[in-house]
Structure 1
């Protein structure tokens, strides 16, 4: 007769190993699965999770997400086109999960970088992690593709719970470091910037036809430099040091600095953005 105190889930029996939080009802399980929507991943991270969970059953999705939330994924190593994650499981030795992204040939990757180069502010979007749908299709994978996993655990399913946990962990790292997807593709941010510079150079050397000349493309955003008062934002000691070279006495140096500060204040106050509007008093024509 089986021990009624033992609880059996799937092919694992839990007995006297401490309290374990279980998902006992379909409603509880759905709630656990839907927590993934609350996680604020970057577009690349969300696409990575989506291409993973499409091939995982609900049980492995929920357990894998719980593994991720519990910090069971302890390491990440970037390889060519794939990532290796170290996941602490139920055994003494951690499992190694290999996350392989959809294959991209050199030609396909060049197409991806051309898409980035042709997109207004494309390099900035990549640098900040705001990839467009087309960029995601090229760099991460389109929605018809899948991310493949190989795990050292005994579960031979397409996507085990360690794979789900690894996908979440990779998504987190992609959100913190948008250049990670470029590292996975063997390019890196610095390499992408160099490629785009050379791409634009080739485009500039190619004569435009009449249609492209008149239609043009979307103009990138203008830079938004920080505006700060020159004297207030700089080190006044350098001004003293410079005037010390052309002043006979310390008193002349101090007066020169003071005069420059006064002139600066006058210029700033007369600037259109700072000019004060003085109104004539009502009794301006009275005799004093």
Structure 2
């Protein structure tokens, strides 16, 4: 019978209660095992811009820990409203920390510019629904630069962008990749509202209400055009050949062509 192995640590003997386990280092804990975002969604323009805005303001250690928080589902109650992405992040304390990513204020003139930028691309509205937003309108929804937004967190860390803000941003990226309309919701919009605003802007630019066309509005005046006999520009040789096939002889052929010429003359002058 094999004797039980005894392990001694100072004056304490571990009699096979539990084998010693290797503890991972701090660097290994902070290093994410896999990307927080699926490969299929990491290239969405909204995700790329939000990621750049966060990474340019965050220190590398906090960035790594924030990604781990997001991947570990420590971020809850994420909302997109009034130009703010807010969330609660469960950290080292009992109560979760309250986090806000505050983006620049936008007014109605900015909103109108946003719609114009969308319409500058013939596929702008359809691309918007697919999450493939052009750079300029995307900057309206988020920010144009890394220092155009503010980060707030109730944690003790007073750094510019803490790990809880990073976790909130990466969780928001996942949500935006799955539902591009969340970027519009950040500005109090949705797909249907953008379509309505686009129609109003087109009406303003063109001066015609698109709905009047479908409702049977007043038609434009038909221009007056000069009459012209098509026989004057036709190859009469082909006409004689056609009449020859249905005529009894040369006289009937000439009479058929003459009758057609009289018919066109009557239609033009009656």
TM-score range normalised by the length of the shorter chain: 0.5 to 0.7
Q: 2:194 aligns with which of 192, 195, 200?
A: 192
Superposition deviation, residue 19 in structure 1: 5.3
Change in Cα spacing, 1:78 to 1:139, as seen in structure 2 (3 Å) is closer
Note the C-alpha offset of 1:197.
Answer: 1.3
**Alignment partners' CA distance in 1, 2:33 and 2:203:** 48
Q: Is 1:113 paired with 2:125?
A: no
Structure 2 SS opposite 1:191: helix
SS in 2 for 1:23: helix
Aligned-residue offset at 1:89: 0.8
The answer (yes or no) to whether the contact 2:89–2:168 under 8 Å persists in 1 is: yes
Q: Secondary structure at the match of 1:102?
A: coil
Task: Please report how far the alpha carbon of residue 143 of structure 1 lies from its aligned counterpart in structure 2 after TM superposition.
Answer: 3.3
CA distance in 1: counterparts of 2:147 and 2:122, whole angstroms: 27
Map of 1:86-97 to 2, 5 A cutoff? 86-97=88-99
CA 1:184 to 1:164, structure 2 compared with 1: closer, same or farther past 3 Å?
same
The alpha carbon displacement at 1:170 in A equals 1.0
Q: 1:156 aligns with which of 138, 155, 158?
A: 158
Residues 84-105 of structure 1, C-alpha deviations (whole Å, 9 max, x = no match)? 1111111111111011112323
Per the alignment, residue 26 of structure 2 pairs with 22
- Counting only pairs closer than 5 Å after superposition, residues 1-288 of structure 1 correspond to structure 2 as 22-23=26-27, 32=32, 35=35, 39=39, 40-41=41-42, 42-143=44-145, 145-205=147-207
Q: Is the 8 A contact 2:130 2:180 kept in 1?
A: yes
Q: CA deviation at 1:50?
A: 0.9
Q: Which has the larger radius of gyration?
A: 2
**Once the 2 structures are TM-superposed, how far is the Cα of residue 145 of structure 1 from its aligned partner?**
4.0
> 1:127-173 CA distances to partner (integer Å, 9 max, x unpaired)?
11001112222222113544321111111111000000000111111
| Whole-Å separation in 2 of the counterparts to 1:179 and 1:49 | 18
Going from structure 1 to structure 2, the CA distance change for 1:21 and 1:199 (only over 3 Å counts) comes to farther
Unpaired stretches in structure 2, ≥5 consecutive residues: 1-21, 209-270
Indicate the larger mover: 91-100 or 101-110: 101-110
The residue number in structure 2 matching 1:15 is: none
Question: In the comparison of the two structures, how many residue pairs are matched?
Answer: 185
Q: TM-score, normalised by structure 1?
A: 0.58
Distance in 2, matches of 1:100 and 1:19, equals 39
Secondary structure at 1:187 match in 2: coil
Flag the 1:56–1:174 CA change in 2: closer, same or farther, 3 A.
same
Q: Following TM superposition, by how much is the alpha carbon of 1:23 offset from its aligned partner in structure 2, in angstroms?
A: 1.1
Structure 1 ranges of 4+ moved more than 6 A: none
Q: 1:189 to 1:38 in 2, by over 3 A?
A: closer
Matched residue SS, 2:46: helix
Q: Secondary structure at the match of 2:27?
A: coil
Mark the CA change 1:91 to 1:195 in structure 2 (over 3 Å): closer, same or farther. Answer: same
Give the distance between the partners of 1:117 and 1:139, measured in 2 at CA. 16
Q: Contact 2:36 / 2:70 at 8 angstroms: preserved in 1?
A: no
Partner SS, residue 26 of structure 2: coil
